[in-house]
């Protein structure tokens, strides 16, 4: 076996796989179009998952199936040496139901909501599976192909979270790739964790004049946000907070019965994120108690409820991890210069569990993700260099079985 | 002439007027029903105004007309001694267009949105005009009957404001009655002033993680509301404030570009209200400057805009003013005990101009004003005592001309 990039690149079977990627490029593009045009709004990825399961059939994969959370998985068994390497892309898009997802082609460009983020990644999984079969490649570790649910927004990485906490393969996963961007040079090696809350402050309310002096939940909310404004947080590990969206109150002549604010806390470091989270909860308790002490609570007290509306763990792949070195070498071999990025992606989950993970690109160019003007350019030259580099990095991580 | 309540009550012409009220009570009720069923939503009082103008025709009134703001006025000329005494009720209700305003009768009760507040007052104006004519009463001062626009909410007392600032009669008004409540015993002698603002805080916005450190308008808003929470205000003259309704922010992962809060300031004392207003503006400037000093404003600074969305002047009728004494004596004569109230009504305007003014009831019982379940009970016994007492107070203020 070998995990050496130079040896892999030189191996006839890898060259055969690259040929298969080249020969199948038109099909790769067509499959991206097909999948893009199957809507996959947040929490409604089922139709696309079913279609993808069908497209995964007929290859050297075991147990192609939908798991309990809505991920499609297919295991490509290796030689039994080295557990499982996950190769994933996410099913969901950010676009709500009813969005026109018709793909418009202009030369090598595809225009459509979700085409790059992350339908192209799904296409890459299919292209890899075919290329591996065509080249008769055997890996040392098993490869688990995963089209996962709930990467975006309130999906909260639930597909990959499930994979690592409840999935059948959870105890055997040794490395993790997420294909989730057109750009080939960006390799996400740090995962920004986030805790998101909607904090509601409630009280008895009353008439603004007649009941003046009654505790006002707006005062407690304001104390929380004013307190946050004065927080000092570390620049490294980068840690941030934002009071973002506000609402509540029913009438200008009423002391509100409820007001609320949505708060976003982030850090690349989980202990720092947990510390900030504790600080927020302490501030909420303090601000609420202060208003109850300050005002008249005979008609009722101010209470606060912090509902967690999002949680993504922070994590990092060790800078000297072989998976990063493999990406670096594979990209360099195909003419790309790796950039180590920090982002919030499916890799957050394995990173938080100290499982080596990277989020990589698929070799295209593209832009305007999360807008209706999203596009990717699948010009075959760069596209094939990117796909080949990614496949090389995966093989270097799983180990290429070499006969004799 | 006489302004003495005992003399007025004993005078045959006043007794004749009371008889006319009694004989016309069924018509009074019918007219309230008719007017209630003509919708008069905020800023859309025209239809009811037109109908009321028609109903005022044919009496001993001059110049029955709609003025520039939408008030219906009709002058009942007196002997030319003592300027003008206004007798008013408001046309508008709080109910939006499309509200079912059909009146349901149960015995002497009428159920409908707006029936008591203030359609019944409009009915009382008609009943008074008829009773005065029937009894052949002449007053010393002129009586100006006014059905006014915009008393409720955002209407901001604009009908009566116009009457006193731009109306044809503005320089001659010496006393003011507003009939605006079923309850006969409540006499409003102090007007709560209010200044209402929507304060918007704006900034450059940005990504909550990528642009962390950028000035956040929510911090400025929170400093304002937290600062207000710590204000000390006088209990006498009663002065109040409320941060009421909140909004703004577009997404939990964005530093907001705009957040806003609606603030209600009130006082029975105009200088105290003005001082609180200045304090709010200073606090807004301070909080905005503090956030600009605290955060990164390279992409833009935080600005604040306080838009006044309501203003009612504070005022008071002198406790020993003859208009209050007249009410007290008239009510007592008909078996009611006057209560001096504080409220925000059309009388705020003349009170703020030091013109003696009271807001009084029409002698019914009722409840649930400002709800769809509003009702009044026009049981003739109490209703006629209340109407008669109000008419006596008006005549005592305008002066009853006595022959010979």
Is pLDDT of A275 > 90? Answer: yes
Query: pLDDT tens across A40-63, in order?
Result: 999 999 999 999 999 999 999 998
Beta strand pairing status for B357-360 and B173-179? parallel
Q: Spell out which residues of chain A touch residue B221, defining contact as CB-CB under 8 Å.
A: 222, 225, 246
Whether the per-residue pLDDT at A19 is higher than 90: the answer is yes
Tell me the pLDDT tens digit for each residue of B353-384: 999 999 999 999 999 888 889 999 999 999 99
Q: Which residues of A touch B42 (CB under 8 A)?
A: none
Inspect the interface and report whether the beta carbons of B244 and A218 lie closer than 8 Å: yes
**CATH 3.40.630.10 placement within chain B:** 2-191+315-398
A–B interface: beta-carbon pairs under 8 A: 165
Q: Check residue B404 and give its pLDDT.
A: 61
Section B130-145 average pLDDT:
98
Contact B246 A249 (CB under 8 A): yes
- According to the model, what pLDDT value does residue B2 have? 85
Chain B residues inside the 8 Å CB shell of A238: 209, 212
Distance CA A287, CA A220 (A): 5
* SS percent in chain A: helix, strand, coil, step 5: 35, 25, 35
For residue A297, which residues of chain B lie inside 8 Å, CB to CB?
none
Q: What is the pLDDT of residue A139?
A: 97
Instruction: Kindly provide the ipTM of the predicted complex, given to two decimals.
Output: 0.85
Chain B residues lying within 8 Å of A225, measured CB to CB: 218-219, 221-222, 226
CB contact at 8 A, A31 and A24: no
How much is the mean pLDDT over chain B?
96
**Could you please report the per-residue DSSP string of A134-194?**
HHT--BSSEEEEEEES--SGGGTTHHHHHHHHTSTTTTTEEEEEEE--S-SSEEEEEE-EE
CB contact under 8 A, A246 and B242: no
Contact at CB, B259 and A247, closer than 8 angstroms: no
Closest Cβ opposite residue B249 in set A240, A244, A344: A244
B47-84 pLDDT tens trace: 999 999 999 999 999 989 999 999 999 999 999 888 99
Distance CA A278, CA B228 (A): 27
For residues B147-161, average pLDDT: 95
> What does the pLDDT read at residue A403?
78
Mean per-residue pLDDT of chain A: 96
pLDDT in the model for residue B240: 97
Contact list, A204 vs chain B (CB under 8 Å): none
Instruction: Give the span between the Cα atoms of B49 and A190, in whole angstroms.
Output: 70
**Cα(B152)–Cα(B96) distance, rounded to whole angstroms?**
12
Q: How many CA atoms within 13 Å lie on the side-chain side of A97?
A: 5
CB contacts, 8 Å: B254 with chain A = 242, 244
Nearest by CB to A255, from B225, B242, B248: name it. B242
For residue A404, the model assigns a pLDDT of: 61
Inspect the interface and report whether the beta carbons of A246 and B249 lie closer than 8 Å: yes
Q: Rounded CA gap, A398 and A401, in Å?
A: 9
Q: Do B251 and A266 touch (CB under 8 A)?
A: no
- Contact at CB, A262 and B242, closer than 8 angstroms: no
pLDDT band at B1 (very low <50, low <70, confident <90, very high): confident
B156: left (phi over 0), alpha (psi -120 to 50) or beta: left
The residue behind tokens 């992962």 is B253
Q: What share of chain B is helix, strand, coil (3-state, %, to 5)?
A: 35, 25, 35
Distance to chain A for B365, nearest Cα, Å: 22
Residues from chain A contacting residue B230 (CB–CB below 8 Å)? 294
- Put simply, the answer to whether A245 touches B256 (Cβ < 8 Å) is yes
Q: What is the pTM of this model?
A: 0.85
Provide the pLDDT for residue A80. 87
Q: Do A223 and B229 touch (CB under 8 A)?
A: yes
A222 contacts on B by Cβ (under 8 Å):
221-226, 228-229, 243
Q: Which CATH code fits A2-191+315-398?
A: 3.40.630.10
8 Å CB contact of A209 and B266: yes
Res A210: pLDDT: 86
**Which residue, among A204, A214, A222, would best test binding to B if mutated, counting the most B CBs under 10 Å from its CB?**
A222
pLDDT in tens, A241-264: 999 999 999 888 889 999 999 999
pLDDT tens-digit map of A373-392 = 999 999 999 999 999 999 99
User: How close, in Å, is residue A355 to chain B by CA atoms?
Assistant: 24
Shortest CB distance from B252 goes to which of A226, A228, A244?
A244
Pairwise CB contact (< 8 Å): B229 & A309: no
Q: What percent of chain B has pLDDT over 70?
A: 100
Confidence of residue A189 (pLDDT cuts 50, 70, 90): very high
As annotated, the residues of chain B forming the CATH 3.30.70.360 domain(s) are: 193-312
Contact B240 A212 (CB under 8 A): yes
Q: What is the mean pLDDT of residues A127-133?
A: 98
DSSP for B290-324, please give it: HHHHHSB-TT---EEEEEEEEEE--EE--TT-HHH
Measured CA to CA, the distance from residue A225 to residue A244 in angstroms comes to: 10
pLDDT score for B252: 87
Query: Is the CB of A254 less than 8 angstroms away from the CB of B247?
Result: no
Per the CB < 8 Å rule, is A242 touching B228? Answer: no
A192, A222, A252 ranked by CB distance to B262: nearest:
A252
Summarize pLDDT for A277-332 with one digit per residue, the tens: 999 999 999 999 999 999 999 999 999 999 999 999 999 999 999 999 999 999 99
CATH number of B193-312: 3.30.70.360
- Contact residues, chain A, for B247 at CB < 8 Å: 246-247
Q: Is the peptide bond before A387 cis (omega within 30 degrees of 0)?
A: no
The reply to whether residue A192 touches residue B209, judged by beta carbons under 8 angstroms, is yes
């Amino acid at each position: 076996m070998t995990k050496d990039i130079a040896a892999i690149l030189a191996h006839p079977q890898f060259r055969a796989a690259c040929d298969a990627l080249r020969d199948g490029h038109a099909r790769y593009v067509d499959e991206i179009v097909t999948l893009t045009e199957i809507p996959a709004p947040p929490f409604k990825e089922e139709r696309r998952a079913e279609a993808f399961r069908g497209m995964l059939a007929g290859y050297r994969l075991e147990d192609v199936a939908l798991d309990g959370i809505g991920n499609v998985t297919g295991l490509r068994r290796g030689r039994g040496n080295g557990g499982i390497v996950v190769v994933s892309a996410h099913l969901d898009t950010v676009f709500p139901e009813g969005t026109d997802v018709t793909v418009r082609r202009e030369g090598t460009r595809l225009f459509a909501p979700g085409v790059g983020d992350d339908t192209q990644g799904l296409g890459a999984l299919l292209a890899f599976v075919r290329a591996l079969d065509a080249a008769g490649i055997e890996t040392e570790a098993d490869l688990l192909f995963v089209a996962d649910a709930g990467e975006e927004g309130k999906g909260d990485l639930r597909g990959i979270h499930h994979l690592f906490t409840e999935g059948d393969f959870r105890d055997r996963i040794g490395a993790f790739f997420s294909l989730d961007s057109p750009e080939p040079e960006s390799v996400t090696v740090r995962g920004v964790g986030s805790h998101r809350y909607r904090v509601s402050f409630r009280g008895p309310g009353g008439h603004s004049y007649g009941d003046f002096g009654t505790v006002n939940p707006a005062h407690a909310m304001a104390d929380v946000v004013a307190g946050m404004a004065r927080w000092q947080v570390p620049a490294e590990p980068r840690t941030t907070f934002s009071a973002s969206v506000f609402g509540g109150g029913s009438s200008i002549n009423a002391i509100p019965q409820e007001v609320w604010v949505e708060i976003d806390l982030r850090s690349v470091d989980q202990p720092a994120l947990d510390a900030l989270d504790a600080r927020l909860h302490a501030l909420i308790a303090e601000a609420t108690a202060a208003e109850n002490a300050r005002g008249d609570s005979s008609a009722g007290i101010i209470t606060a409820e912090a509902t967690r509306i999002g949680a993504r763990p922070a994590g990092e792949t060790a800078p000297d991890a072989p998976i990063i070195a493999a990406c670096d070498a594979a990209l360099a071999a195909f003419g790309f210069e790796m950039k180590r990025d920090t982002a919030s992606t499916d890799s957050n989950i394995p990173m938080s569990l100290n499982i080596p993970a990277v989020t990589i690109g698929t070799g295209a160019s593209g832009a305007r993700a999360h807008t209706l003007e999203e596009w990717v350019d699948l010009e075959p030259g760069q596209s094939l260099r990117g796909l080949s580099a990614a496949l090389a990095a995966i093989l270097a991580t799983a180990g290429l079985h070499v006969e004799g």
